[in-house]
Structure 1
Amino acid sequence: MTDSPCRVAVCWLSPELEQPAQALAMHLQLPVLPAGSSQAELLLQVGSDGLSLQATAADAPGAVRVDFVEGALAHRRLFGGGAGQMVAKAVGLRGAVRPTVLDATAGLGRDAFVLAALGCEVTLIERQPIIAALLEDGLQRARQAGGEVAEIAARMQLLQADAIEAMANWSAAVPQVIHLDPMFPHRDKSALVKKEMRLFRPLAGDDLDAPALLAAALQLASHRVAVKRPRKAPAIDGPPPSAQLSGQSSRYDIYGKKKLE
Structure 2
Amino acid sequence: MDEQEQSTAIRVEALSAPLQVQAQAWAQRLGLPLEDDQAGFAVQVSGDGLQVQQLGPQAPGPVRVDFVEGQAAHRRLFGGGSGQMIAKAVGIAQGIRPTVLDATAGLGKDAFVLASLGCSMTLIERQPLIAALLEDGLSRARLVAEVAPIVERMRLLTGNAIEHMQHWQGEAPQVIYLDPMFPHRDKSALVKKEMRVFRPLVGDDQDAPALLAAALALATHRVVVKRPRKAPIIEGAKPSHSIDGKSSRYDIYPKKTLKA
TM-score of the aligned structures, taking structure 1 as reference length: 0.93
Q: 1:218, 1:189 → 2: CA distance?
A: 29
The corresponding residue for 2:107 is 108
Find the aligned partners of 1:17 and 1:206 in 2 and give their Cα distance. 33
Count of aligned residue pairs for this structure pair: 253
Contact 1:187–1:229 at 8 Å: present in 2 too?
no
Contact 1:38 1:56 in 2 (8 A): no
Where does residue 25 of structure 2 map in the other structure? 23
Q: Is the 8 A contact 1:66 1:134 kept in 2?
A: yes
2:173 to 175, 190, 199: 175
CA–CA distance in structure 1, aligned partners of residues 88 and 160 of structure 2: 27
Give the CA deviation at 1:172.
2.4
Distance 1:105 1:224 in 2: 16
How far is 1:66 from its partner?
0.7
Q: Structure 1 segments of 4 or more deviating over 4 A?
A: 185-188
What is the one-letter code of the residue matched to 1:81?
Answer: G
Distance 1:195 1:56 in 2: 13
Residue matched to 1:8: 10
- Matching residue's letter, 1:64: V
Partner secondary structure for residue 174 of structure 1: coil
- Structure 1 residues 46-55 or 196-205, which shifts more? 196-205
Are the equivalent residues in 1 in contact too, given 2:181–2:203 (CA < 8 A)? no
**TM-score normalised over the length of structure 2:** 0.93
Residue of structure 2 equivalent to 1:87:
86
- Tell me the amino acid that sits aligned with residue 228 of structure 2: P
Say which SS state the counterpart of residue 125 (structure 1) adopts: strand
Partner of 1:246: 244
Pairs within 5 Å for 1:86-235 = 86-147=85-146, 149-184=147-182, 185=184, 187=186, 189=188, 194-235=192-233
Partner of 1:258: 256
Listed as ranges, the gaps of 5+ residues in structure 1 are: none
Q: Which amino acid aligns with 1:208?
A: Q
| SS of corresponding position for 1:40 | coil
**Cα distance change of structure 1 residues 198 and 237 upon mapping to structure 2, 3 Å threshold:** same
Cα 1:24–1:62 shift into 2, 3 Å: same
Tell me, in whole angstroms, the C-alpha distance in 2 between the residues paired with 1:24 and 1:162: 21
Q: How many angstroms apart in 2 are the aligned matches of 1:53 and 1:71?
A: 17
Distance in 2 between residues matched to 1:93 and 1:188, nearest whole Å: 30
Q: What is the CA distance between 1:232 and its match in structure 2?
A: 1.2
State whether residues 187 and 231 of structure 1, in contact with CA within 8 Å, keep that contact through their aligned partners in structure 2: no
The amino acid across from 1:113 in the alignment is: F
Q: Structure 2: 5+ residue runs without aligned partners?
A: none
CA contact under 8 A between 1:83 and 1:118: conserved in structure 2? yes
**Deviations along 1:18-37, whole A, 9 cap, x unmatched?**
1111011101100002xxx7
The aligned amino acid for 1:250 is S
Q: Distance in 2 between matches of 1:130 and 1:54?
A: 12
What SS does the corresponding residue of 2:204 show, helix, strand or coil?
coil
* Cα distance change of structure 1 residues 221 and 190 upon mapping to structure 2, 3 Å threshold: closer
Task: Indicate the RMSD between aligned Cα atoms, in angstroms.
Answer: 1.6
Q: Which residue of 2 aligns with 1:39?
A: 38
Q: 1:186 to 1:254 in 2, by over 3 A?
A: farther
CA deviations over 1:207-259 (Å, ceiling 9, x no partner) = 11110000000000000000001111111111110121000111011000000
Write out per-residue CA displacement over residues 139-167 of structure 1, whole angstroms, 9 at most, x where no aligned residue: 111001123x0110000011111101110
